[in-house]
Amino acid sequence: MPQSLSLAAYLAYARRGTTDQTPPDTPRPEGALIWAHAVDADRADALVQLAQRLAALRPGLKMVLTTPEDSAPVNRNSKAVLRQPLPDDTIASAETFLKHWRPALCLWTGGDLKPALLSCADRMEIPLYLLDADEHLFNRRSWRWFPDMPRALLGLFTQVIARDEATAGILRRFGLADADIAITGPFREGTISLPYNESDREELAGLLRGRPVWLAAMANPDELSIILDAHRQVSRQAHRSLLVIVPDDETDSTSFQNRLSEGGWRHVLWSDGALPEETTQVLLADTHGEMGLWYRIAQITLMGSSLIPGQWGRDPNEPAAHGSAILYGPNVRRYLSSYSRYAEAGAARIVKDADSLAAAVVSLIPPDQSAAMAHAAWEVASEGAGVTDQILDLVQDTLDALEGE
């Protein structure tokens, strides 16, 4: 590709300033490492999930994940991911960053391209992939002064994946050929099936056959009164209903149990090995790592830590992956975009207090109502699975080729 005058001018400017850069404090781990950049928290969460899947397929593989300083916090964490700030877009900063981490490849999501960083990576022969290209991230006013800059930067990428046809149209106007663009849909965090004990599921399913079961997942102590008040209302209309409560912190089990005893609730404690009887009203599921079981048992799930101001919600992708209708409170700022996506598809419903929670649960007790909502949730959660699979194959193929050299 002919040298872009705009890119050359930008890089000349980017060479100015200090050349004395301090390497990152975090040491580079041994083995294969990839660099991924996310322009926002949603894409960062999707990349963390991708890293988890890659680490399962290629033990020891790590991802260095960069995000802008002003981006929202990332919800997911993983031992396979090292979080790092995005370096300044200067030649010195880019070279220091890349020489320290020595990534095998780069996955750049969204857009908002950084010329110095990407040019240095290309010069170091690091394969570059632009994923989930978004038209809104290519409208940069500064590019008016560098008219051939977008074409030059996009030409550095081995492959460009656009989220929709509108973005593909912009990429074509910047000079990319149709053969260089793949349109896949949005790259989003998707569903991961959680483990569970099948014998426990079969036993509980047999005991609870015909009973309405709803789940309060990751419940916070401050919202327990709302949940129990709602269950009392639900029980008046569906007297055989069972509420399963999973505390957000299992160390709160004693206080939860005391509250249930004080309220006169007929309850059993899962950690004691107790099973619900016909008259049991509440099952307190106070063990760790069994959410896969409870999502499968309950036809309706309230995602807790969301009903009281000051909370921020929990991940709605979990119940969506396991066939449970989703309810949530108004305080889900950390997962707001995910909940909005589910709500727009009729797959999740917001509740604000005990009355609205009880009304929502009662309306979803008929199996056809909860099943329709759960199916919509599954469709939303799984729509990005194909995109993630394609990216997974892309990374695997690239790493295999590099290891074979």
User: Given this model, what pLDDT does residue 1 score?
Assistant: 43
User: Given this model, what pLDDT does residue 2 score?
Assistant: 45
Residue type, 272: D
C-alpha pair distances (Å), 28 with each of 40, 79, 89: 24, 14, 21
| Terminal-residue alpha carbon distance, the chain | 25
User: Given this model, what pLDDT does residue 74 score?
Assistant: 60
What's the alpha-carbon Rg for the chain, to the nearest Å? 25
Model pLDDT for residues 233-285, shown as the tens digit of each residue? 999 999 999 999 999 999 999 999 999 999 999 999 999 999 999 999 999 99
Q: Provide the token pair at 18.
A: 């200090």
Higher pLDDT, 141 or 225: 225
| Separation of alpha carbons 74 and 120, rounded Å | 27
Model pLDDT for residues 146-193, shown as the tens digit of each residue? 667 788 888 899 999 998 899 999 889 888 888 889 998 888 877 677
User: Given this model, what pLDDT does residue 380 score?
Assistant: 84
Residues in the chain: 405
User: Given this model, what pLDDT does residue 221 score?
Assistant: 96
pTM metric for this prediction = 0.75
Cα-Cα-Cα-Cα torsion 48, 49, 50, 55, nearest 10 degrees, comes to 90
Mean pLDDT score, 216-227: 97
In this prediction, residue 19 has a pLDDT band, given cuts at 50, 70 and 90, of low
Domains of the chain: 5-190+384-403 (3.40.50.11720), 198-381 (3.40.50.2000)
